[in-house]
């Protein structure tokens, strides 16, 4: 309920609301003529009486006249209070929950940087404010076979040239040098595909406006890592000497 889109959220609330009223309408019908001024056997009359009861409207035209009906009304009033509290809490949680709105490049690349093969990918902040104390972590997930012949998944932490920034406002090119300490050292596109390697990226930071922690997650499979390729430069210099960022090249690779 917290992660579905708004139309789906309101749709689920409406379905639950109708379902609860239908259940109680059937209970009123089971009690016979227990609702004054309701037509005998009329589902619509008892359904709308259930709606009035749950919403505490109390028009007065229809009211319970038997002990059975009063017991059902008591139960429905309690259910209505709890349902209203839950719906209100979910609505508030959806409005108050900050969203990361962090995007990642569609592909990662491996290219030389200062003479060292380096894994790179881009991330950018789509928010109008900044993400403070942003910390990014990259792990390599791959399948390995033990000496006993058992297949298991292993996680390897990957050291980054810069894993955190005090203020994440625009873009961030994440770099991992593939030296002898790297889990990618000596690997090839074929070997990564064979071991079903996946890069797992997590980003954690603090929303500048509401001071709440936000999270973002992404992953790259072996087929989404391109070798001996580079990202297209997004920074351009205008005629007056100022520099701009062209986000239309965010995913472009040459």
- Give residue 85's pLDDT: 93
Residues 92, 106: one domain?
no
**Confidence band of 118 (pLDDT split at 50, 70, 90):** very high
In a domain? residue 145: yes
CATH number at residue 53: 1.10.287.70
- Count of CB atoms situated within 10 Å of the CB of 97: 12
CA-angle at 166, arms to 218 and 214, nearest 5° = 40
Work out the pLDDT band at 145, boundaries 50, 70, 90: confident
Mean pLDDT over residues 57-63, rounded? 85
User: pTM above 0.95?
Assistant: no
In angstroms, the Cα distances linking 248 to 116, 127, 234 are 28, 17, 8
Q: How many residues does the chain have?
A: 254
**Number of Cβ atoms within 10 Å of the Cβ of 134:** 23
- Residues 173 and 189 placed together within one structural domain of the fold: yes
| Confidence category of residue 66, pLDDT binned at 50, 70, 90 | very high
How many domains does one find in the chain? 2
Please report whether residue 250 resides in a domain.
no
- % of the chain exceeding 70 in pLDDT: 100
Last residue of a domain, one of 96, 121, 137: 96
Residue 253 covered by a domain: no
Is the domain of 84 the same as that of 141? no
pLDDT digits (tens, 9 = 90+) for 67-115: 999 999 999 999 999 999 999 999 988 887 777 789 999 999 999 999 9
CA–CA separation, 215 and 208 (whole Å): 14
The pLDDT, as a whole number, for residue 125 is 86
Of 30, 62, 96, the residue that ends a domain is 96
Q: Residue 58 has what pLDDT?
A: 78
Has residue 230 been placed in a domain? yes
Average pLDDT, the chain: 90
| Cα 56 to chain centroid, rounded | 36
pLDDT tens per residue, range 163-195: 999 988 888 999 999 999 999 999 999 999 998
Q: Which domain holds residue 52?
A: 6-96
Residue 201 has what pLDDT?
Answer: 96
In a domain, 238, yes or no: yes
- Can you spell out the DSSP letters for 109-163? EEEEETTEEEEEEEEEE-SSS-EEEEEEEEEEEEEEE-TTS-EEEEEEEE--S--
Looking at the domain assignment, is residue 215 inside a domain? yes
Q: How far apart are CA 123 and CA 111, in angstroms?
A: 17
Examine the domain organization and report whether 233 and 137 are in the same domain: yes
- Give the whole-number percent of the chain exceeding pLDDT 90: 62
pLDDT band at residue 19 under the 50/70/90 scheme: very high
What whole-number distance in Å separates Cα of residue 29 and Cα of residue 55? Answer: 19
Same domain, 180 and 220: yes
């Amino acid at each position: 309920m917290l992660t579905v889109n708004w139309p789906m959220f309101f749709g689920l609330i409406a379905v639950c609301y109708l379902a609860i009223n239908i259940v109680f309408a059937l209970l009123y019908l089971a009690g016979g003529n227990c609702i004054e001024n309701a037509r005998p056997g009329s589902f619509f009359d008892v359904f709308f009486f259930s709606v009035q009861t749950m919403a505490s409207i109390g028009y007065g035209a229809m009211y319970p006249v038997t002990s059975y009906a009063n017991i059902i009304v008591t139960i429905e009033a309690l259910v209505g209070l709890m349902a209203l509290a839950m719906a209100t809490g979910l609505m508030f949680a959806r409005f108050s929950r900050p969203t990361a709105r962090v995007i990642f490049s569609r592909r990662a690349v491996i290219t030389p940087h200062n003479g060292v093969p380096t894994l790179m990918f881009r991330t950018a902040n789509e928010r109008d404010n900044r993400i403070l104390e942003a910390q990014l972590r990259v792990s390599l997930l791959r399948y390995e076979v033990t000496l006993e012949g058992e297949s298991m998944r292993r996680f390897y932490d990957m050291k980054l040239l810069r894993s955190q920034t005090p203020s994440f406002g625009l873009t961030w090119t994440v770099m991992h040098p593939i030296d002898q300490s790297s889990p990618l050292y000596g690997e090839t596109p074929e070997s990564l595909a064979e071991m079903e390697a996946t890069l797992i990226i997590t980003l954690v930071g603090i929303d500048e406006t509401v001071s709440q922690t936000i999270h973002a997650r992404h992953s790259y499979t072996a087929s989404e890592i391109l070798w001996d390729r580079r990202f297209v430069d997004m920074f351009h210099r205008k005629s007056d000497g100022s520099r701009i960022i062209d986000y239309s090249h965010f995913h472009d690779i040459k």
